[in-house]
Chains A and B, each alone.
Chain A
Amino acid sequence: MSPPAGRVSPPTQALIICAAAWAVPGAGHLWLGRAQKGISLLVLLTVMFAFGLWIEGRLFPFEFADPLVGLAALADLGMGLPYFVAKAFGAGVGRAVAVTYEYGNTFVIVAGLLNMLAVLDAYDISQGRK
């Protein structure tokens, strides 16, 4: 059962909620008592990210000399801890000749962007707007 809308978290707590929501997909919603949403986001976004890596997507480097590569890296980073775990395990190298390379990139990038959207949603909930 969701808590009633309109309860406003203090700014510091809202920031911590946003950080948690970024680090672990769905954690912000879980924190705010929206268990169904939190667990759904955790499963959906993690599956999407892992699937993208599985089909040979790439975790882009932070090279802003090529703006699209830099922006893709920022989107990848939106995934939070799973991004660092994948990096630590050497995943996301990407194989440009693989037929699914571009699809994998799309899955990984969109998973990161959707997690950023989930962070904003968690912030709105913490401010009593939803």
Chain B
Amino acid sequence: MTSHLGLMLVFAALVSCTFAVLSRDGVRDQAWFATRLFGAFVGAAYVLGWLLYPLPL
């Protein structure tokens, strides 16, 4: 496993699930929170990646 994207997805999934387990009660709430957090992690990574793409100028 050497894909940067793959590693980022694994990391985001594990961290999202852990935060969801710690901050929400009930499997349903946890699953929904983890899904949203995972999406936010991946979305932020894409946005930041594209914003940094032109650097260094």
Contacts and interface: CB of A to CB of B under 8 A. Distances in A.
B21 interface: yes
A68 interface: no
B7 A44 contact: no
Nearest to B1: A55
A interface secondary structure, majority: helix
Given A99-B2, A100-B2, A117-B22, A36 B17 contact: no
Contacts of B22: 37, 41, 117-118, 121
Contacts, number: 40
Nearest to B25: A2
Counting chain A CB atoms within 10 Å of each CB, the highest count among B2, B17, B22, B25 belongs to B22
Contacts of A36: 27
Q: How large is the interface on B (under 10, 10 to 19, 20 to 34, 35 or more residues)?
A: 10 to 19
A62 interface: no
Contacts of B10: 51
Nearest to A124: B22
13 contacts: A36-B27, A40-B21, A45-B18, A47-B14, A48-B14, A100-B2, A103-B7, A103-B11, A106-B11, A110-B11, A114-B18, A117-B22, A118-B18
Interface of B: 1-2, 4, 7, 10-11, 14-15, 17-18, 21-22, 25, 27, 30
